[in-house]
Amino acid sequence: MKNTFGNSVAVTLFGESHGEYIGATIDGLAPGIEVNHEYISHMLTLRRPAGKISTPRKEKDQYRIVSGLVNGRTTGTPLTVLIPNENVKSGDYVQMQTLARPSHADYTADCKYHGFQDTRGGGHFSGRITAALVAAGAICRYALEQKGICIGTHVKRCAGISDREFTDLASDIKKVNEKIFAVLDEARGKEMQEAILAAASDGDSVGGVLETAVIGMPKGVGEPWFDTVEGLLSHMMFSIPAVKGMEFGAGFAIADMRGSMANDPFRMKEGQVVSGSNNNGGINGGITNGMPVIFRTAIKPTPTIFRQQDTVDFRSMSDAVLLPKGRHDPAIVHRARVVQDAATAIVLCDALALRYGTDWLK
């Protein structure tokens, strides 16, 4: 469906980095869901750049919900959130209209849109668009929390430095959701931020790994061919700019295990089926098994760096040299974390609504 994701609950994104508005429309939300503005604003704050480790572009993200909301609750009809773009400096991007930033979408956008794409600030390919995804996802996420389904993401790795593992998920999720720079081990978080600053001072950028945990997810959700929970989540996550890998449970490490080690033995606990280990990340055969859903994404270093790079001018079709200006992040992994939370919430709402009907989330 191209620019709409989901069937029972569906989200459509629109807007460009330097356009009048970015926005999202969510269709299929149950009627009567409480929309918590404080919660949404907090999510947007977590996504917004902060301090020296992020772009100096500051947006207030004064979102407005212009449809689908009455008296603080969803109506059940499409809900549209608009976020105005205010702090726009398009002049910075003039050069990029024909010089392709390596590893960014400038060139591929031109291949696809034949020069008609909005090139200002990356246009529709800008990370800016994720603010609308976060606002839409925050509504879903808050609704899921009222049902006992909680999502949390930490910076598992950044600039080669690793955070500690998730241990007690309920408290760890709570912990990371309160932080701007979401790590479980504060000391490692400081190291990561220093590494980001070090890269920034070199005009360079760094990447990382985000790890998400979902607890409280009902068992029996997902479809075998082709709407597995893994397939739906990855379909969504690869839309988040910079994601280049996705793994569930033990992920790529499981490839080196033997079955006797990789298998998650089931056992009964307080009348519920649980598994001793969780190498499958809470999903067997594409369907949730009631254990926490665990996955990780690989976030590439921000492609826009302040160093001279070889590239091409795709209008004149000739070799060129690029030295970007503009406002860019030396890392986005810490900001992408709340985008990943929001995107996860949307996918889960869709899968749950298919399973339990359009009123389930109420």
Site for a copy of itself in 97-116 (CB under 8 A): 100, 102-105, 107-109, 111-116
Stretch that binds a copy of itself, among 16-24, 53-61, 141-149, 171-179 (CB under 8 A): 16-24
In the sheet that holds 21-27, the strands lie side by side as 4-5, 10-15, 21-27, 79-84, 64-67
Separation between Cα atoms, residue 305 and residue 131, nearest integer Å: 22
Position 137 contacts a copy of itself (CB under 8 A):
no
Q: In angstroms, what is the minimal distance from the CB of 305 to a copy of itself?
A: 4
Position 212 contacts a copy of itself (CB under 8 A):
no
Q: Which two tokens stand for residue 99?
A: 């010089």
For a copy of itself, the closer CB: 186 or 202? 202
Please say whether the beta carbons of 361 and 353 come within 8 A.
Answer: yes
- Within 8 A by CB and 6+ apart from 218, the residues are 288, 290, 352, 355
Number of C-beta neighbours around residue 24 at 10 A: 26
Position 216 contacts a copy of itself (CB under 8 A):
no
For a copy of itself, the closer CB: 177 or 275? 275
For a copy of itself, the closer CB: 167 or 268? 268
Q: With contacts defined by CB under 8 A, how many residues of the chain interact with a copy of itself?
A: 154
Position 25 contacts a copy of itself (CB under 8 A):
yes
Position 51 contacts a copy of itself (CB under 8 A):
no
Site string for a copy of itself, 282-321 (x = CB under 8 A): -xxxxxxxx-------xxxxxxxx-x-xxxx-x--xxx--
- Within 8 A by CB and 6+ apart from 66, the residues are 80, 81, 82
Please give the helix or strand (H or E) that residue 214 lies within, else none. Answer: strand 208-215
Stretch that binds a copy of itself, among 40-48, 146-154, 179-187, 237-245 (CB under 8 A): 237-245
Site string for a copy of itself, 61-100 (x = CB under 8 A): ---x-xxx-x--xxxxxxxx-x-----------------x
Separation between Cα atoms, residue 129 and residue 96, nearest integer Å: 19
Separation between Cα atoms, residue 360 and residue 362, nearest integer Å: 6
Position 340 contacts a copy of itself (CB under 8 A):
no
Number of C-beta neighbours around residue 296 at 10 A: 22
Please say whether the beta carbons of 351 and 146 come within 8 A.
Answer: no
Q: Which two tokens stand for residue 89?
A: 């400096």
For a copy of itself, the binding residue among 173, 250, 293, 338 (CB under 8 A) is: 250
